[in-house]
Amino acid sequence: MRNKLSFAQSLPIRSFAFLVALQASLLLGPTAVAGTPDWLRRLAGQPLPNYPDNTSAVIMLDEQLTSVDHEGEIKTLYRRAYKILRPQGRKYGTLVVYFDQETRLTYLKGWSISAQGTEYEIKEKDATETSPFEEALYLDTRLKVLTIPAAEPGSLIGYEYEQRRRPLVFQDRWRFQDEIPVRRARFALRLPDQWEYHARFLNHTATEPQAAGGNQWIWELQDVPAIAEEPSMPSWRGIAGFLAVNYFPAHARPHGSTHRSWQDVGQWYSQLAASSREDTAQLSQKVTELTAGKSAAMDKILALAAFVQREVRYVAIEIGIGGYQPHPAGSVLLNRYGDCKDKATLLAAMLRKIGVNSYYVLTNSERGIIAPDFPSMLNFNHVILAIRLPENTKKCRALRVMDPPNAWTISFL
């Protein structure tokens, strides 16, 4: 399972440029004229505070505008600028942007101003397009890599792009803290009339937004410190400050959904995956074959789990909602391949044939990424299965078991 919803929001913040047109209407598009834009030129002469000697670069500006229309389509404009201080900061001259059928990239451009004052411009046609995943047989997610010239110490790098999406979930995560210092960060949200939002800061002191009129709000931060690297630390994205925002129509829901509680998340995924667990004649036959001659419930469970783990290859085919919705269990059995959610679904369907209940467990492969205070599908990139053991089942070292009265075994797939 890959987290399609999070590609534009949960990847390392250094990979993205952030744009917000914070003029009177907050609706102005990206600069269309050729040459370096004025907003980047203005940053070139700004003085910097004193930073530690190992600071490779500074984010001079990080801006994002999210604008939602009445149909639930979202337009997000991003703008970002880096001041490169040391050779290690050259990597910030490379921009990586993800997109797919649901998140379209409509504009992309970058610039640089060298230490000598020479200006460079690079456009979307100069970007390299590729696939981000090697283990997937087929998916609709692509990425564009834009390498901006003159990414050298003393240079100022800037880029901006726009994305349009029709999301499955009406949520945003504004990641304003990075591995390097941030001089100025700004996030703007514009909603249709009769829409509301709930916002919560995580890993950072809460800051109230400025009301901009017309159902618009702006959050702004200055001089956000860098995340200090420590031995054996969790992923820096798990401890960096961010703003989590849910937005929704006050009286009706369009095609998307809003997760305001963990129960909402659970119900959403349960309903999405329910039809995939349906039985087939071939599946029933395979369960009978695998459990033949076994009377103990644990022996049957182990036989089914071993088959799914060893005989079903990990191969992903994820298009659109397929990034979240499992393929039918019968198809996974027939094809003998699937990703984590497909393998979990097949095992769940097989277990049901022997009278054993099981439940999806959504998780993340990186420690610290899941934020308990932010119920969201954006937190997850992996699915495993929790199996309710029959009463009086003898524990087995091969499985991780939680003690009664809620006896579960976790089967990692």
Check if the beta carbon of residue 73 is closer than 8 Å to that of residue 164. Answer: yes
Non-local CB neighbours of 220 within 8 Å, separated by 6+ positions: 184, 185, 186, 187, 207, 210
Two structure tokens written together for 190: 């514009």
Element (H, E) at 306: helix 297-311
pLDDT at 113: 95
Q: Report how far residue 31's alpha carbon sits from residue 54's, in angstroms, rounded to the nearest whole number.
A: 34
pLDDT at 81: 97
Check if the beta carbon of residue 107 is closer than 8 Å to that of residue 127. Answer: no
Per DSSP (E only), the strands in 114-254 are 119-123, 128-130, 136-139, 142-147, 156-165, 171-175, 182-190, 195-202, 210-211, 216-224, 242-249
Rounded to the nearest angstrom, the gap between the alpha carbon of residue 308 and the centroid of all alpha carbons in its chain is 27
Buried b (16+ CB within 10 A) or exposed e, 345-383: bbbbbbbbbbebebebbbbbeeeebebeebbbbbbbbbb
Non-local CB neighbours of 322 within 8 Å, separated by 6+ positions: 139
Domains of the chain: 4-258 (2.60.40.3140), 266-411 (3.10.620.30)
pLDDT at 32: 31
Rounded to the nearest angstrom, the gap between the alpha carbon of residue 277 and the centroid of all alpha carbons in its chain is 26
pLDDT at 253: 56
Sequential pLDDT tens for the chain (413 residues) = 555 434 333 333 333 333 333 333 333 333 333 489 999 999 998 999 999 999 999 999 999 999 998 888 899 999 999 999 999 999 999 999 888 777 889 999 999 999 999 999 999 999 888 876 655 555 667 889 999 999 999 999 999 999 998 777 888 889 999 999 999 999 999 999 989 999 999 999 999 999 888 899 999 999 999 998 888 888 878 889 999 998 888 775 544 467 778 888 888 888 889 999 999 999 999 999 999 999 888 899 999 999 999 999 988 777 767 778 899 999 999 999 999 999 999 999 999 999 999 999 888 888 778 888 888 887 788 999 988 888 777 666 556 666 555 555 555 45
Relative to beta strand 313-314, strand 337-338 is parallel
pLDDT at 16: 33
pTM equals 0.76
